[in-house]
Amino acid sequence: MKTRAAVAFEAGKPLEILEVDLEGPKAGEVLIEIKATGICHTDEFTLSGADPEGIFPSILGHEGAGVVVEVGPGVTSVAVGDHVIPLYTPECRQCASCLSGKTNLCTAIRATQGKGLMPDGTSRFSLKGQPIYHYMGCSTFSNYTVMPEIAVAKIDPKAPFDKVFYVGCGVTTGVGAVLNTAKVEVGATAVVFGLGGIGLNVIQGLRLAGADMIIGVDINNSKKEWGERFGMTHFVNPTEIEGDVVAHLINITKRGIDQIGGADYTFDCTGNTRVMRQALEASHRGWGKSVVIGVAGAGQEISTRPFQLVTGRTWMGTAFGGAKGRTDVPRIVDWYMNGKIEIDPMVTHTLRLDDINKGFDLMHRGESIRSVVLY
C-alpha cells in the first residue's frame, strides 16, 4: 500500500512529506493507522545527526496513537479496530530481560530495532524500490506503520488520540521516572533540570508521589509558569543567580540541625552532560538519587568526582520511565481518563503532517511543550 509520511533523508535537513510504499504485516505484526503523533526532543536529536544509531533515510516519530487496521498471521493479543499506542520499548514477557522482573528494557527485538529494521531483518517501508528505515521500531511520522504485536499497547477506545499519543513517550517517561525508577516517597525534596515536554511530566509525577519541595531549573524564564502549573514550588534560572547553581540548590534545600543541603531526588531532562553532573552533585549526601533521562549526543561522556558516589549518592538512568509498555501504558491512559494526571495543557501546538517541520522550529525556539501532528 501507499502511505503519506515525513521522511528524514539526511541529518540536519528538514523532513520531506511524500507518499512511500508500505508492505503489509507479516507473522506476529500489525498494521496501524496512526491518528496522532508527538514530536519529542529525541526525534530532533536523531534528525540533527547526534544519534550514534541514527540511520537515513528513515521515518522518525516514536510517540503516537492509532488504530489496528490489519493483523498478520499468529497475532493474538490485539485485533482489528483496537486503539493502540506504539511502544519503542516492547514487552515480550518471554526474554531474559522481561522475565528478570528487574527491567523494562525488553531485549526481544532491540538489535534489529536499532538497525531500523523489523525483527525479520527487513524494512516494510520503501521508495522507488529502495528501503526506507524504521525508527525506534515505531515510525509514527507515517500515517500507516507496521509494528510487532509485542510492541503495541491496547488502550481505552474512549481515550482521545490527540492527547494520549503523549503517553507513547513524554508522559510515561516523566511520570515513570518518578514512580518506577526513583520511587519517590511522600514528603521528598526534588530538583528537575529542564522543564520541557519531559521535565513537566517529572514535575506532575512528583506531585502525584506527594513530594513537598519541587524545584525546577531552566535557562528559559517562560518555563517558570509552566512548572508552577504542574506542581513546581520553586524556580531557578542558572543564568540569573550569583555563583554556582549546585551551591545555590544545596543552599535552598538545607534542613535539619546540621543544615546539610541537597535534594532527595534530582532528574536531568536536558540531555546536557554538564547538567547531568550538576544534577548528581545537587543530590543529598548519603542517600540522594539522581536520574538521567536526557539523551546525550555521540561521543559525549559524563564525569564527576568518585567522592560524590563514595558519599552515598546514586547515579541512575531511565528509559521510557522504567515502564513495561503493554502492562503500564494502558494504566497511564486510564490515569489520564480518570483525571489523575494532566495532558491537555501540555499539548501546545496542533499541526498537519505537511507542517511537521514547524514543530521542530517551535521546539528549537523553546515555544512549544508538545506539538502534535494529526493525520
Binding site for ligand NAD (CB under 6 A): 40-42, 45, 169, 173, 193-199, 217-220, 223, 238, 269-272, 275, 293-295, 318-320, 363, 366
d(CA 54, CA 46): 6
| Comparison of 65 and 188: residue with beta carbon closer to Zn ion | 65
d(CA 288, CA 266): 8
d(CA 50, CA 324): 27
d(CA 62, CA 272): 21
**Residue with C-alpha cell 525483527?**
119
Active site residue 181: no
57: preceding bond cis by omega (within 30 degrees): yes
Q: Which of 4, 44, 92, 273 is catalytic?
A: 92
Active site residue 16: no
Judged by CB under 6 A, the stretch of 12-20, 48-56, 208-216, 276-284 that binds ligand AHE is 48-56
What is the separation of C-alpha 187 from the centre of its chain, rounded to a whole number of angstroms? 26
Judged by CB under 5 A, the chain residues 6 through 65 that form the site for Zn ion are 40, 42
Q: Does 213 bind ligand AHE (CB under 6 A)?
A: no
Residues 6 or more apart from 157 whose CB is under 8 A from it? 82, 83
Supply the minimum distance, in Å, between the C-beta of residue 153 and ligand AHE.
Answer: 15
Q: Does 295 bind ligand AHE (CB under 6 A)?
A: yes
Active site residue 367: no
Q: Which of 117, 169, 282, 333 binds Zn ion (CB under 5 A)?
A: 169
Active site residue 305: no
Q: Which of 98, 266, 269, 277 is catalytic?
A: 98
Please give the full DSSP string across 314-358, using - where no structure is assigned.
Answer: EEEE-SGGG--HHHHHHHHHHHHHTTSS--GGGEEEEEEGGGHHH
Active site residue 83: no
195 binds, among ligand NAD, ligand AHE, Zn ion, none (CB under 5 to 8 A by kind): ligand NAD
| Comparison of 152 and 217: residue with beta carbon closer to ligand NAD | 217
Q: Please give the residue whose beta carbon sits closest to ligand AHE in the complex.
A: 42
| Comparison of 150 and 249: residue with beta carbon closer to ligand AHE | 150
Q: Does 110 bind ligand AHE (CB under 6 A)?
A: yes
Active site residue 42: yes
Q: Does 109 bind Zn ion (CB under 5 A)?
A: no
Supply the minimum distance, in Å, between the C-beta of residue 319 and ligand AHE.
Answer: 3
Active site residue 124: no
**First vs last Cα of the chain: how many Å apart?**
17
Judged by CB under 6 A, the chain residues 319 through 348 that form the site for ligand AHE are 319-320
d(CA 293, CA 329): 18
C-alpha cell at position 207: 506531585
Active site residue 269: no
Residues 6 or more apart from 122 whose CB is under 8 A from it? 131
Nearest to 4 by CA among 106, 143, 159, 133: 143
Active site residue 134: no
Judged by CB under 6 A, the stretch of 13-21, 50-58, 141-149, 252-260 that binds ligand AHE is 50-58
Active site residue 62: yes
What is the phi/psi pair of residue 97, to 5°?
A: -65, -50
d(CA 108, CA 158): 31
Please give the residue ranges that form the binding site for Zn ion (CB under 5 A). 40, 42, 169
Catalytic residues: 40-42, 62-63, 92, 95, 98, 106, 110, 169, 370
- The residue ranges that bind ligand AHE (CB under 6 A) are 40, 42, 51-53, 89, 105, 110, 169, 295, 319-320
